[in-house]
A and B are shown apart, each in its own frame.
Chain A
Amino acid sequence: MKLPPFDYACPTTLPEAIELLASHDDAKAIAGGQSLVPMLAFRLAQPSLLVDLRKLADLRGIRISDAGVTLGAMVRWRDIEDDERLETAHPLLKAAISHVAHYQIRNRGTVGGSIAHADPAAEMPGIAMTCDAEIAVVGKSGAHVIQAADFFQGALTTALTTDEIIVEIRLPAWPAGRRWGFQEFARRRGDFAMAAAAVFYDQDERGKARNAHVGVIGVGDRPLRLTAVEDLLNGESIDEATIAKADAATSAAVEPQDDIHASAAYRRSLVGTMVERALTSAAAA
């Protein structure tokens, strides 16, 4: 499975990179390569030019401020693992990332790469959806921000145009005392999720949930926010009865497909269980 032939460029500035992408038909950006290179190996993609982003140093930082957590697009899974600040600054992100792939892949795979690749069962797009992330991109026509809800358009399909590069992913601030949970079930550790759920909610003075966010992956062609389930949780105590309702509502809200790893019926049930267990762990913390 030798790679097909392509030209290669390694620009040192963002404008250079964008110019390369814009001026070549079928040019593709390569970040960590952990998703792109296998596609090349199977000849599912045959770009004429690879534009390597590795020299764009500004994209590697993790910034934490009152505004939230900003991940440079070239931040690796490894960098998130190693950054202790994130235990409190964004524990949900940390928990989700601990499920991504394997040791060697985590040393190369990037946040931006995962978002741009948009696998329906990938954790980072799931977190981006669940947390109302903003995806900052730069292209020929300049810089702009795309809301996560508008960014993921289908399996391996995003709102990016061919000349655009993701520069940052911005997650809103994470208040102390927020309740959260993350549950994933895959065939084997490190495999793509058959289904996973990321949930969080805050509490009002009476201890009732508000601002509930329920996101799931693996059960559609893109990561999903389940607003029907969120509506059910808001204003309620997150107790066994509510959680059971959320489980059922989750299963009712999705339309998964059969594939060789899991049946649609099983996935439908599984994602409900993932939400149920995520809420249970959120409520227990």
Chain B
Amino acid sequence: MSVQFEVNGKNVEVEVEPRLTLADCLRHHLRLTGTHVGCEHGVCGACTVIVDGAAVRSCLMLAVQAEGAEIVTVEGLSNDDDLTPLQKSFRKHHALQCGFCTPGMITTAHVLLSEEPDCDAARVREVLSGNLCRCTGYISIVEAVLDARSAYGHKDDAGDRARERR
């Protein structure tokens, strides 16, 4: 079947079997290998992409269901020149080791921060509990996301200052 959608601002058309997942379509047909496949049954979150503004497990979506959608992958949240504020924060806080879960963390965090720039640590943990990481133990990831809030419009408050003092 022929499917048309937008990925990272570009219109694409692919010829796929109905059974092809969006994850596999992005990775193998469009060669956007930044989105990773860790489980293929919707638990690990490594495959998270942004579909029409929402964070979605691309291994649980069929490519044919993406017809007409606007999709953003980790590549679409990156540029060649510099790291984005979110990426810089991840690097500063050592929020990645092997890098495999990282694209899913970045896309999920980007959506969360875009919608809820004032989210607190508990909310960040709640949202990221759908993304498994085996290397970092998560604490540095949560710190990185909280530290990136100001780039999304969050104003520093007493809670932040208290956290920094610890």
- Decide if A and B touch, CB cutoff 8 A: yes
Q: Within 8 Å CB of A10, what residues of B?
A: 64, 67
The majority secondary structure among interface residues of chain A is loop
4 nearest A-B pairs in the assembled complex, by CB-CB distance: A102-B130, A8-B18, A107-B54, A3-B19
Number of interface residues of A (CB under 8 A): 30
A34-B42, A108-B56 known; 6 new pairs, CB 8 Å cut-off, are A33-B61, A34-B60, A37-B61, A101-B130, A103-B130, A104-B56
From residue 38 to 86 of chain B, which have CB atoms closer than 8 A to chain A? 40-42, 45, 48, 51, 54-57, 59-62, 64-65, 67
From residue 108 to 166 of chain B, which have CB atoms closer than 8 A to chain A? 108, 112, 126-130
Among A1, A6, A104, the most chain B Cβ lie within 10 Å of the Cβ of A104
A257 CB, nearest partner CB in chain B, Å: 23
Residues of B within 8 A of A (CB): 1, 17-21, 24, 40-42, 45, 48, 51, 54-57, 59-62, 64-65, 67, 108, 112, 126-130
**Can you pick out 26 interface pairs between chain A and chain B where the beta carbons lie within 8 Å of each other?**
A2-B19, A2-B40, A3-B21, A5-B19, A8-B1, A8-B18, A8-B62, A33-B65, A34-B42, A37-B41, A37-B60, A38-B41, A38-B42, A38-B60, A103-B108, A103-B112, A104-B48, A104-B55, A104-B57, A105-B57, A105-B60, A107-B54, A107-B55, A108-B61, A189-B126, A190-B130
Residues of A within 8 A of B (CB): 1-8, 10, 33-34, 37-38, 40-42, 50, 52, 54, 78, 101-105, 107-108, 188-190
Q: Could you tell me the distance between the alpha carbons of A40 and B17 in the complex, rounded to whole angstroms?
A: 15
From A34, A37, A103, give the contact of B127 (CB < 8 A): A103
Q: How many A-B residue pairs have CB under 8 A?
A: 86
Q: Within 8 Å CB of B128, what residues of A?
A: 103
Q: Within 8 Å CB of A1, what residues of B?
A: 40-41
Q: Are the CB atoms of B64 and A8 closer together than 8 Å?
A: yes
A192 CB, nearest partner CB in chain B, Å: 12
Q: Could you tell me the distance between the alpha carbons of A100 and B130 in the complex, rounded to whole angstroms?
A: 11
Q: Within 8 Å CB of A38, what residues of B?
A: 41-42, 60
With CB as the reference atom, state the residue of chain A lying closest to B60. Answer: A37
Q: Within 8 Å CB of B41, what residues of A?
A: 1, 37-38, 41-42
Q: Are the CB atoms of A7 and B129 closer together than 8 Å?
A: no
With CB as the reference atom, state the residue of chain B lying closest to A188. Answer: B129
Q: Could you tell me the distance between the alpha carbons of A40 and B19 in the complex, rounded to whole angstroms?
A: 9
With CB as the reference atom, state the residue of chain A lying closest to B127. Answer: A103
With CB as the reference atom, state the residue of chain A lying closest to B52. Answer: A107
Among B1, B56, B60, B112, the most chain A Cβ lie within 10 Å of the Cβ of B60
From B40, B65, B130, give the contact of A104 (CB < 8 A): B130
Q: Within 8 Å CB of A103, what residues of B?
A: 55, 108, 112, 126-128, 130
Q: Given contacts A38-B41, A38-B42, is CB(A102)–CB(B18) below 8 Å?
A: no
